[in-house]
Amino acid sequence: MKAYFTRYPVVLLTACILSLSVAAKEKVVMPVSYSTITELPYAEADSVLKYGDHDSQFIEVWRPSEPSQGNLVFIHGGCWLSDYDIRHARPFMSALSKLGYQVFGVEYRRVGNGGGWPTSYQDISSAIQHILEKPNVTAPNTAILGHSAGGHLALLAATDNQLPHPFSAIIGLAAISNIEQYSQGSNSCETVTEHFMGGSLQERTTEYRAANPIEHAFLNPVYLLHGADDPIVDPNQSKALTDRAQSIYIQKRAGHFDWLHPDTVAFTRVEKLLKDVFNESD
């Protein structure tokens, strides 16, 4: 055994390094389930801001221990339903703050607690404006991220000329970009669309158009990340914006919730994108 190590030290060391590198990137098997992210540990938010009188109109704030690399506004998903609140996204936001970002997690009214169209987006707009009133927070040093239905609302913010712009980036994680098309689907989240919109596409054509990001011009740089194996929001929702987004990345073997798990390859992709975005905005 001694002779073997003496003869092949470099080969063994290289193999060990490669093995550790692969293990570090693949220690969580993708796709990740919803229950998996709800069981993750996280650091509690440093403070909570209110931007309205409703119980769901608040913002959780994580401040980095080191000087901020930039500001992130995060809009959680959950099919626009009040059944799914900000709690499932806390591990994700906590992890982002550990990377050196100041993170603002937005809670808002949803279907079942006074939300729906256009109330839910009005809450998002009000929350973003409230965040921009804080010291050292401006549109150019802030990125807005949204996951799933939250990605839909983030993309709407990218089109909103009532908000200051441009932001550093608007980033959609498994985002719904075409709500009209999404409303025609039959999975459990797609069928909620009519409840969110207050009726069918045929009944509320004008409202659907107003709520549809793909129908409006982007006023901010948009980046889209999507899992190739996403069963809730089809990757074609992101691919539909190929000619308008700054970039679209489809992660192999990733599902819907991989982006929110800090120990996945998908999260590493989010981390890399944020570094690129804020380096470009310097």
Instruction: Give 280 or 4, the one with higher predicted confidence.
Output: 280
- Which structure tokens are listed for 240? 């539909």
List, for residues 10-38, the tens digit of each pLDDT value. 333 333 433 333 444 456 888 999 999 99
Report whether pLDDT(241) > 90.
yes
Q: Domains of the chain, with CATH numbers?
A: 30-281 (3.40.50.1820)
pLDDT at 65: 83
Kindly report the average pLDDT of the chain as a whole number: 91
List, for residues 136-170, the tens digit of each pLDDT value. 999 999 999 999 999 999 999 999 999 999 999 99
pLDDT at 282: 60
Count of C-beta atoms within a 10 Å radius of residue 152: 29
Residues 6+ apart with CB under 8 A from 257: 31, 32, 33, 34, 36, 37
Report whether pLDDT(55) > 70.
yes
Residues 6+ apart with CB under 8 A from 223: 169, 170, 171, 172, 245, 246, 247, 248, 249, 273, 277
